[in-house]
Amino acid sequence: MRIAFAVNGTRGDVQPAAVLAHRLAERGHDVILGIPPNLGDAIAGSGMHVRRLGLDTQAQLDHVSRARAAAGRDPIKLQRMLAEVRDLGWAEIVGDMAGVVEGADVVVTGFTTEQVAAMYALRAAIPVISLHHAPIRPNLSVGPLPAIGARSTSLNRLQWALADRALTAMTRRRDRELAGRVGGVPDDGPGWTRVRRAPGADIQAYDPMFAVHDDPVWDRDSRRRPRPVVGFLDIPGRLRQRMGSQMRGTASADVMSWIGRGEPPVYVGFGSMPLRDPAAVVGIVEWACRSVGRRALICAGWNRVDDMAAAVCDTSVVQVVDSIDHAVLARCAVVVHHGGAGTTAATLRAGVPSVVCWFSSDQPFWGAEVSRLGVGVSLRFRKLDAMRLAAGLRASLDPACVERARAMPSALVGAQQAADHAADVVESSVRPMRIVA
């Protein structure tokens, strides 16, 4: 079977897809993996055919960050900035998609690329599988904007209705252009409705303990397009060493030695989230960690290491690295992170408490779930200061919180089981197509 993966985004988007792609390749399938060019080297040598899909996402995020800073709070400039950001990289994804999915029996994609992938899949009469890292289809439990929150099912229903209208308005023009370019696709509504009606499935790539249950809206739509909850897709040991450092991170002997020279440190990392003032963040972290008597291991991620390291006064207390292997998390006392699904999963599997400092997207959802389980606290990054971070660290270091976190690894679906379940879903999707009305 020829299986095409078309995934755009950051490490958190690409890594689960790469894990599933690798498992399918192990089963003997011909796997094509379309990912951003800046992450291609991280997958090279893993036994899959890697092709370019879209722009360099690190450069793209840097551009968005600069555009937001330039717009400030001016409403006209903000509107222009949003219009520019909305279409940034779209043409490149559309252009690259045809080469990635050509000749495929099934297409596996992510949320940011599923509209484009579904168009090509429908034209080729093949199923499309979406990988979701949180509940992102209409339901009464979780709204489309978790940062806003909702205390009632009616408010969540309203949020989804407004989100659907907004998405239709934002994508109508480019959706029509895409349909014309692809050709052979019936004009039966916005692109996102095609995805929700397309043959295939929406794989929920997170643990069942976070799934939507007993929800009439979710259950109704799941009958049309299945949404199996498989568990977190993590890098297995046999693949970890074959992936480049951009995907798995690094753990140098110097870092491991530094960790071993004292009590377990606090890990701090915000992944691909751009920090306006990295040096200020280092200062906040250093003060908060000193106040609780802990050292800090800071992973710069996609921010400039030099800017962060310049603020470090005492390297015996603070260490700054450019990337880190998530395997290191198990040797830390607390993990301070942005609440990305991948980092949240890695922290839960490590059995370590979290302080989630969320920015946007599904991150507030994961922060709320960490808080609900009593394995950490949730803060909004925009409001982060030394006092709030110190309070979050104290709460996470509480023995009861630590004990609950230690119990999490055994409660989660195993990584191998999750990958096998997801692979089964992809394989079973290849059958005669039927458009669901």
pTM of the model: 0.90
Do 248-411 and 2-54+89-232+415-428 have the same topology in CATH? yes
Comparing CA positions, the residue from 200, 128, 195 lying closest to residue 167 is: 195
49/396 Cα distance (integer angstroms): 43
The 3-class secondary structure across the chain, one letter per residue, is: CEEEEECCCCHHHHHHHHHHHHHHHHCCCEEEEEECHHHHHHHCCCCCEEEECCCCHHHHHHHHHHHHHHHCCCHHHHHHHHHHHHHCCHHHHHHHHHHHHCCCCEEEEECCCHHHHHHHHHHHCCCEEEEECCCCCCCCCCCCCCCCCCCCHHHHHHHHHHHHHHHHHHHHHHHHHHHHHHCCCCCCCCHHHHHHHCCEEEEECCCHHHCCCCCHHHHHHHHHCCCCECCCCCCCHHHHCCCCHHHHCCCCHHHHHHHHCCCCCEEEECCCCCCCCHHHHHHHHHHHHHHCCCCEEEECCCCCHHHHHCCCCCCCCEEEECCCCHHHHHHCCEEEECCCHHHHHHHHHHCCCEEEEECCCCHHHHHHHHHHHCCEEEEEHHHCCHHHHHHHHHHHCCHHHHHHHHHHHHHCCCHHHHHHHHHHHHHHCCCCCCCCC
The 3-class secondary structure across 321-376, one letter per residue, is: ECCCCHHHHHHCCEEEECCCHHHHHHHHHHCCCEEEEECCCCHHHHHHHHHHHCCE
pLDDT at residue 187, rounded to an integer: 61
**Looking at residues 104-132, what average pLDDT do you find?**
92
Confidence label for 436 from pLDDT (cuts 50, 70 and 90): very low
pLDDT at residue 433, rounded to an integer: 46
Amino acid identity, residue 53?
Answer: L
Please, how many CA atoms are within 13 Å of residue 249, restricted to the half-sphere of its CB?
Answer: 24
Buried b / exposed e along 145-179 (16+ C-beta atoms within 10 A): bbbeebeeeeebbebbeeeeeebeeebeebbeebb
pLDDT at 78 over 80: no
pLDDT at residue 151, rounded to an integer: 65
Confidence label for 283 from pLDDT (cuts 50, 70 and 90): very high
pLDDT at residue 105, rounded to an integer: 96
pLDDT at 212 over 70: yes
The domain locations on the chain are 2-54+89-232+415-428, 248-411
pLDDT at 168 over 70: yes
Least confident range from 44-58, 281-295, 394-408: namely: 44-58
**Looking at residues 100-114, what average pLDDT do you find?**
94
CATH fold of 248-411 reads Rossmann fold (3.40.50)
Each residue's pLDDT tens digit, 375-390: 999 999 999 999 999 9
Specify the higher pLDDT residue, 362 or 148. 362
pLDDT at 127 over 70: yes
Each residue's pLDDT tens digit, 216-266: 999 999 998 999 999 999 987 666 555 555 545 566 788 889 999 999 999
Confidence label for 174 from pLDDT (cuts 50, 70 and 90): confident
pLDDT at residue 399, rounded to an integer: 98
Mean pLDDT over the full length of the chain: 87
Each residue's pLDDT tens digit, 284-294: 999 999 999 99
pLDDT at residue 147, rounded to an integer: 78
**Looking at residues 29-51, what average pLDDT do you find?**
81
Task: Copy the structure tokens of residue 329.
Answer: 């998390």
- The CATH class for the domain spanning 2-54+89-232+415-428 reads alpha beta
pLDDT at residue 435, rounded to an integer: 43
